[in-house]
Structure 1
Amino acid sequence: MNRPITSHAPITIHHRFATVDGVEMFYREAGPADGPVVLLLHGFPTSSHMFRNLMPLLGDRYRVIAPDYPGYGQSDAPDHTAFSYTFARYADMVDALLGQLGVTRYAMYVMDYGAPVGYRLALKHPERVSGLIVQNGNAYEEGLRAFWDPIKAYWADGSAEHRDALSWLVTLDATRFQYVDGVRDPSRVSPDNWVHDQALLDRPGNRDIQLDMLYDYRTNVPLYPQFQQFFRERQPPTLIVWGKNDTIFPEEGAHPYLRDLPAAELHLLDTGHFALEDKLDEMAPLIRDFLDRAVAAR
Structure 2
Amino acid sequence: MDYGAPIGYRLAIQYPEQIETLIVQNGNAYEEGLGDFWKPMRAFWQNKTLENTDRVRQALASKGTKWYYITGARNPENLSPDIWTLDQALLDRPGNIDIQLALKYDYQSNVRLYPQWQAYLRQYQPPTLIVWGKNDQGFLVEGAYAYKRDLKNLEFHLFDTGHFALEEEGDAIADHIRRFLTTHVVENTKLTTSNK
Bin of the TM-score, shorter chain as denominator length: over 0.9
The residue number in structure 2 matching 1:127 is 17
Equivalent pairs counted in the alignment come to 188
SS of 2:145 mapped into structure 1:
coil
**CA shift for structure 1 position 178:** 1.4
- Larger RCO (alpha carbons 8 Å, 6+ apart): 2
The residue number in structure 1 matching 2:90 is 200
**CA deviation profile, 1:262-288 (whole Å, cap 9, x unmatched):** 221111100000000110121111110
**CA deviation profile, 1:63-112 (whole Å, cap 9, x unmatched):** xxxxxxxxxxxxxxxxxxxxxxxxxxxxxxxxxxxxxxxxxxxxxxxx01
The residue number in structure 2 matching 1:295 is 185
The residue number in structure 2 matching 1:242 is 132
CA distance in 1, matches of 2:17, 2:9: 12
Q: What's the TM-score, normalizing by structure 1?
A: 0.61
CA distance in 2, matches of 1:292, 1:271: 26
Q: CA RMSD in A?
A: 1.1
The residue number in structure 2 matching 1:67 is none
SS of 1:255 mapped into structure 2:
helix
Q: 1:283 aligns with which of 173, 181, 193?
A: 173
**CA shift for structure 1 position 184:** 1.5
CA distance in 1, matches of 2:7, 2:49: 25
Q: Is residue 119 of structure 2 the alignment partner of residue 229 of structure 1?
A: yes
The residue number in structure 1 matching 2:151 is 261
CA distance in 2, matches of 1:189, 1:129: 34
The residue number in structure 2 matching 1:38 is none
SS of 2:131 mapped into structure 1:
strand
> Does the 8 A contact of 1:188 with 1:277 survive in 2?
no
> Does the 8 A contact of 2:126 with 2:153 survive in 1?
no
> Does the 8 A contact of 2:134 with 2:161 survive in 1?
yes
SS of 1:165 mapped into structure 2:
helix
Q: Is residue 7 of structure 2 the alignment partner of residue 117 of structure 1?
A: yes
Q: 1:186 aligns with which of 55, 65, 76?
A: 76
**CA shift for structure 1 position 296:** 2.8
> Does the 8 A contact of 2:131 with 2:173 survive in 1?
yes
SS of 1:242 mapped into structure 2:
strand
The residue number in structure 1 matching 2:193 is none
Amino acid at match of 1:246: D
The residue number in structure 2 matching 1:33 is none
CA distance in 1, matches of 2:68, 2:173: 19
Deviating above 3 A after TM superposition, structure 1's stretches of 4 or more consecutive aligned residues are none
**CA shift for structure 1 position 250:** 1.2
**CA shift for structure 1 position 246:** 0.5
**CA shift for structure 1 position 253:** 0.6
Q: Is residue 30 of structure 2 the alignment partner of residue 140 of structure 1?
A: yes
**CA shift for structure 1 position 126:** 0.9
Q: What's the TM-score, normalizing by structure 2?
A: 0.92
CA distance in 1, matches of 2:144, 2:12: 19
> Does the 8 A contact of 1:155 with 1:218 survive in 2?
yes
The residue number in structure 2 matching 1:270 is 160
The residue number in structure 2 matching 1:64 is none
Gaps of 5+ in 1: 1-110
Structure with the largest fraction of helix: 2
**CA shift for structure 1 position 186:** 2.1
The residue number in structure 2 matching 1:29 is none
Taking only the aligned residue pairs, the percentage that are identical comes to 56
Amino acid at match of 1:247: Q
CA distance in 2, matches of 1:296, 1:206: 42
Structure with the largest fraction of strand: 1
Gaps of 5+ in 2: 189-196
SS of 1:175 mapped into structure 2:
helix
